Amino acid sequence: MKTEIKASTHLAPVSAVLVSCGDAQDSDIVTIAWAGTVNSEPPMVSISVRRSRYSYELICKTGEFVVNLVPEDMLKVLDGCGVVSGRDTDKFAKFSLTRQKCAHVSAPAIAECPVSLECVVRKTVELETHVMFIAEIVGATARADWAEGGKLRIPDGELIAYVQNRYVTTGETLGTYGFTAKK
């Protein structure tokens, strides 16, 4: 039997990603757990950002951001970018990260992250606590050993997932899409 619990943001596991934003003059990185895939063609993602974040100001100004996927060996960076603000800290410098020029947006990607998705905001949804930016992925880059013939190949267990307030490993493959229907 299940027992009633508080209705809340219990969806889990979710991605925890580093979103870089701004431009050559002023850039920032923000840790985001409220992110998701929202459309296939064109490929689109959403991120929900509180109005108080410095990154919110930059995304509103430029209409662009980069979603950077985070491997386990960058766990401290993932958490660290979520507890200091770009208003008073250059997070690229603080966490020894490299700004990587993007081909399709003016926001910098994070060179140390294995995958970067270059995004252009198409819709902005004003919610109560957060603003949801719905954005088209207009370009993507991946580390050479994660790319095969132009396609992304994420190795088992490399990326971090987020469950409640815990960072967890993504472990081993249990099955693949539609495996129950395959003969």
Ligand X SMILES: Cc1cc2nc3c(=O)[nH]c(=O)nc-3n(C[C@H](O)[C@H](O)[C@H](O)COP(=O)(O)O)c2cc1C
Q: Which is nearer to ligand X, 48 or 100 (CB)?
A: 48
Residue among 40, 39, 35 at smallest CA distance from 70: 35
CA distance 47 to 67: 9
The residues in 128-167 that bind ligand X, with binding defined as CB under 6 A, are: 162
Distance in angstroms (rounded) separating the CA atoms of residues 171 and 16: 15
Q: Site residues for ligand X, window 2-61 (CB under 6 A)?
A: 16, 28, 30-34, 48-50, 53-55
Point out which span in 82-90, 114-122, 135-143, 152-160 binds ligand X (CB under 6 A). Answer: 82-90
**Minimal CA–CA distance to 52: which of 131, 135, 125?**
131
Distance, in Å, from the CA atom of 49 to the CA atom of 33, rounded to the nearest integer, reads: 10
Nearer to ligand X among residue 166 and residue 182 (C-beta): 166
Q: Which part of the chain contacts ligand X (CB under 6 A), choosing from 38-46, 61-69, 84-92, 94-102?
A: 84-92
CA torsion 127-130-135-137 (nearest 10°) is -150
Q: Exactly one of 18, 20, 68, 86 binds ligand X (CB under 6 A); which one?
A: 86
- Residues near ligand X (CB under 6 A) are 16, 28, 30-34, 48-50, 53-55, 79, 82-87, 162
